[in-house]
Chain A
Amino acid sequence: ETGVTQTPRHLVMGMTNKKSLKCEQHLGHNAMYWYKQSAKKPLELMFVYSLEERVENNSVPSRFSPECPNSSHLFLHLHTLQPEDSALYLCASSPQRPGQGSGANVLTFGAGSRLTVL
Chain B
Amino acid sequence: AQSVTQLDSQVPVFEEAPVELRCNYSSSVSVYLFWYVQYPNQGLQLLLKYLSGSTLVKSINGFEAEFNKSQTSFHLRKPSVHISDTAEYFCAVIPNTGRRALTFGSGTRLQVQP
Contact = CB atoms under 8 A, between A and B. Distances in A.
B94 interface: yes
Contact of A41 (B46, B49, B94, B106): B106
A107 B102 contact: yes
A42 to B, nearest CB: 5
Interface core residue of B34, B97, B102, B104 (most chain A CB under 10 Å): B102
Contacts, number: 60
Chain A interface, >50% SS class: loop
Given A42-B4, A98-B94, A48 B43 contact: no
Contacts of B80: none
B89 to A, nearest CB: 13
Contact of A104 (B34, B98, B106): B34
Nearest to B33: A104
B113 interface: no
Interface residues of A, number: 27
B97 A99 contact: yes
A68 to B, nearest CB: 15
B71 to A, nearest CB: 20
Interface in B65-109: 90, 94, 96-107
Contacts of B63: none
Interface in A81-96: 90, 92
A98 B49 contact: no
A103 interface: yes
A62 to B, nearest CB: 21
Interface in A51-103: 55-56, 90, 92, 97-99, 103
